Amino acid sequence: MNRKIALIGNPNTGKSSLFNHLTGLRQHVGNYPGITLDKKWGECFLGDNEQVEILDLPGVYSVFPRSKDERVVMDILSNPQHIDFPDAIVIVVDASNLDRNLLLFTQVHDLGIPALLVLTMDDMNRKNGVTIDKQLLSKRLGGVAIVTVNARTGEGVDRLKRSLLAVGEKSEVIPFSPTHPIEIKEDPIAQRNDAEVRFEAIRKLLIGVVRRTDQPAHSSTRRIDSILVHRVWGYLIFLAVLLLIFQFIFRLAAIPMDLIDGWFLQLSIWAQAHMPEGAFTNLIAEGVIPGIGGVVVFVPQIAILFFFLSILEESGYMARVVFLMDRLVRPFGLNGKSVVPLMSSVACAIPGVMATRTINTFKDRIVTIMVAPLMSCSARIPVYTLLIALVIPAERVWGFFDLHGLVLLGLYALGLFSALAVAGVMKRFVKTGEPSYLILEMPMYRWPRWKELGINLVEKVRVFAWDAGRVIVAISIVLWALASYGPAHRIEKAEQEAMLSASPEEAEQLKAAARLENSYIGILGHAIEPVIKPLGYDWKMGISLITSFAAREVFVGSMATIYSVGEDFEENTVLMDRLREERWSETGEPVYTLASGMSLMVFYVYAMQCMATFAVVRRETKSWKWPIIQLVYMGVLAYVAAFITFQLLV
């Protein structure tokens, strides 16, 4: 069995970057047993022969379990029988904040597990005229091996690997604090006393270890912060950054999206022309291929979104955004620790809900969990962009900004301000406990690490495409079957009635429409149409709304499947063209107008159409009460807001 080595450290110490350098693409993601918390591990080769397993533990400030992340870490490190108990530990320490980071080191070191100390961000010390005597530090820490690594560039990783070959050979560990050994106590007073004793000892230990020269401290970060976190300019700059990102999402993704759309259309044509006639060929050409294409076509936009979000995080700007948002959310009953879950929900509500574990009190967590899904996530991007391109004119505002990008920004802003408004209402019903404070370290500004950014981008796009793709293929097969079959007598009667009023040129088209409307899915769609018609939706939209409760992005795949059933593809019309040609049977007016399109977008801003999020909320709250309340209030909010939007614009 391979040796298991765990990485542990405070948040923002470069631990995850170091994990990427050690494992590359040999990574795995799962869940810790019994808890919905991400577990990352990977393989690393040390020298020519030895392969070890690297476990990336959650970033924590202390081993005392006040949050779920810290409890997971302590459960692993305090139990030699745990499946993830490591043979050795690499403790990653930010050298520019040595005194604070060494608290965690001393706690982990005293557990008696063979350890190695890694100093990151020492280059920041040199810029600020600070030096660390590593030999003296090692001596005062009882001979613990110390390795300096640049987690951004990977410099020093080879030295770390050589050191890992030897770590664990010494069995004797001298406790750092024999008078205050690590004992896992729930008593906050005992925890605070232990921390105070250790901090005092650490300050004495660092005398002579950390030296500052006469070189003036690096102050460019403070000068930039004076603008980026300004009470006025900070918000305007953040708004401009978001607007720029949304402009790029439309402009850069247009060409690859058109190509992908065309490729899948040609693939459907090829399947219909070269495969044997029959139900299976129709399933592939009209169901599976359009369904998958409905997801893949939006991969360029998802990739662009994650690319820019990664740049904001890597550069250090995202921490400033969290600081800015803290000012904004406090008046609405959310505390500073709610900011990170809300910002995480922009990518996906699931990690956003899970990130609320860092909030100490249950009541504070509930308010954050209940509003997190209102933040527009990446799964809504396919829905938004399809409808924006369909009903919003491709015009420019002020000669530069695309109207498409402005509308997309408005939808994100609507979600944010709605989350704040709902939180303000909920704080009156869910009373919060003691006030929480945002403890946030502002990292230095730095250039993104392109290799690591690429690894993370590939992983996120893969997860999006694979997870969404599996669901959509399954739903596409079911939808195709329901749309292709129905009560035989009803379909036959509808086809005969269609033929009576059809010219020879229109016969096949009207027969296909009659078959679809009288299929099982058509019957279901017409049954719910009276409920959704006041919102501007026809029965086909209704079917897509129902299927997208599995996941929001399924809406596009469902539309692609429904509008492909019976299609001969001879006119080479892509989905967008077929949607533009859709008409109400009663009036002949277009189904997709500015009013119906905006109504549908507003509906998706509010609707809780993600069963995975529903399940995670149930798991996190350990109750059916909160996810059901969330589902109901978001559903009512979505219907009412969509109704008002349609009635105002019709």
* Higher local confidence (pLDDT), 599 or 255: 599
- The band of 403, judged by pLDDT with boundaries at 50, 70 and 90, is confident
| Whole-number Å distance between alpha carbons of 319 and 324 | 9
**In the 8-state DSSP scheme, what is residue 285?**
I
Top-ranked range on mean pLDDT: pick from 148-152, 174-178, 344-348? 148-152
Which of 227-231, 431-435, 549-553 is predicted most confidently?
Answer: 227-231
Q: How far apart are CA 617 and CA 631, in angstroms?
A: 10
Q: Which residues contact 500 (CB under 8 A, 6 or more apart)?
A: none
As a whole-number percent, the residues of the chain with pLDDT over 70 amount to 79
Which comes out higher in pLDDT, residue 215 or 18? 18
- Give the pLDDT confidence of 382-397 residue by residue, as tens digits: 888 888 988 888 888 7
What mean pLDDT is reported for the chain?
77
Residue 155 contacts residue 129 (beta carbons within 8 Å): no
471, 459, 460: which is closest to 294 by C-alpha? 471
Cβ count near 213 (within 10 Å): 10
What is the three-class DSSP state of 90? strand
φ, ψ for residue 613, nearest 5 deg: -65, -40
Q: Locate 213 and state its tokens.
A: 């020269």
The helix-helix angle for 299-315 and 254-274 (nearest 10°) equals 150
CA dist., res. 549 & res. 545, Å (int): 7
Measured CA to CA, the distance from residue 617 to residue 353 in angstroms comes to: 7
- Enumerate residues 6+ apart whose C-beta is below 8 A from 65: 71, 73, 74, 75, 184
Which token pair is 550? 């599995």
Name the packing angle between helices 507-517 and 488-500 (round to 10°). Answer: 150
Binned at pLDDT 50, 70 and 90, residue 566 comes out as low
pLDDT above 80: residue 496: no
Burial 339-373 (b: 16+ CB within 10 A, else e): bbbbbbbbbbbbbbbbbbbbbeeeebbbbbbbbbb
> Please, what's the largest Cα pairwise distance for the chain?
98
**Residue 573 predicted with pLDDT over 70:** no
Average pLDDT of the segment spanning 74-80: 82
As to burial, measured by CB atoms within 10 angstroms (0-12 exposed, 13-18 middle, 19+ buried), residue 590 is middle
End-to-end CA distance of the chain: 67
pLDDT at 242 over 60: yes
> Distances in Å between the alpha carbon of 418 and those of 212, 273, 329, 332, 602?
49, 50, 12, 11, 11
The reported pLDDT for the residue numbered 207 is: 84
Cα–Cα distances (Å) from 230 to 265, 320, 329, 331, 431, in that order, read: 50, 10, 16, 18, 31
Q: How confident is the model at residue 227 (pLDDT cuts 50, 70, 90)?
A: confident
pLDDT band at 125 (very low <50, low <70, confident <90, very high): low
For the chain, domains (ranges, CATH) are 4-212 (3.40.50.300), 465-649 (no CATH)
Angstrom distance (rounded) from CA 421 to CA 637: 12
3-state class (DSSP) for residue 402: strand
Among candidate residues 606, 89, 578, the one with its CA nearest the CA of residue 373: 606
User: Any idea which of 183-197, 213-227, 632-646 has the lowest mean pLDDT?
Assistant: 183-197
Predicted pLDDT of residue 634:
93
Tell whether the model's pLDDT for residue 602 goes beyond 90: yes
Identify the residue with better confidence: 506 or 444.
444
pLDDT in the model for residue 28:
57
Q: What is the mean pLDDT of residues 126-132?
A: 73
Banded pLDDT at 15 (limits 50, 70, 90): confident
| Residue with more model confidence, 410 or 574 | 410
pLDDT of residue 587: 82
Q: Distance between CA atoms of 650 and 112, rounded to whole angstroms?
A: 70
Most confident range, picked from 13-17, 168-172, 588-592: 588-592
Report pLDDT digits (tens) over 408-426.
889 989 998 999 899 888 8
Q: What is the pLDDT of residue 68?
A: 67
The pLDDT tens digits of the residues spanning 296-345 come to: 776 787 788 778 877 887 787 877 887 887 777 777 877 667 777 787 77
Q: What is the DSSP string of 215-266?
A: SPPP-HHHHHHHHHT-TTHHHHHHHHHHHHHHHHHHHTTHHHHHHHHHHHHH
422 CB contacts (<8 Å, ≥6 apart)?
Answer: 370, 371, 374, 633, 637
447's tokens: 């250039």
Q: What whole-number distance in Å separates Cα of residue 170 and Cα of residue 431?
A: 52
Radius of gyration of the chain (CA): 28
Q: Is the pLDDT of residue 601 over 90?
A: yes
| Cα dist from 417 to 312, 354, 355, 363, 521, whole Å | 22, 21, 20, 21, 37
Q: Is the pLDDT at 461 greater than 80, yes or no?
A: no
Q: Which of 564, 560, 539 is nearest to 472 (CA)?
A: 560
Mean pLDDT of 465-476: 69
Q: What is the pLDDT of residue 564?
A: 66
Instruction: Please report the pLDDT score of residue 33 as a whole number.
Output: 43
| pLDDT tens column, 607-629 | 887 776 787 788 778 788 898 99
Return the C-alpha torsion angle 349, 354, 358, 363, nearest 10.
80
CA dihedral of residues 278, 281, 283, 285 (deg, nearest 10): -140
| Distance in angstroms (rounded) separating the CA atoms of residues 308 and 347 | 11
Taking residues 27-46, what's their average pLDDT? 61
If you search the block for the tokens 């953040």, which residue do you land on?
238
Confidence of residue 507 (pLDDT cuts 50, 70, 90): low
Cβ atoms of 104 and 63 closer than 8 Å: yes
Q: Is the pLDDT of residue 363 over 60?
A: yes
Higher pLDDT, 100 or 184: 100
Angle 18-24-26 from CA coordinates, rounded to 5°? 120
User: Do residues 515 and 486 make contact, with C-beta atoms less than 8 angstroms apart?
Assistant: yes
Mind listing the pLDDT tens digit for each residue in 153-199?
778 888 888 888 877 654 444 555 545 555 545 545 555 667 777 88
Task: Name which of 305, 316, 300, 553 is nearest 412 in CA terms.
Answer: 305
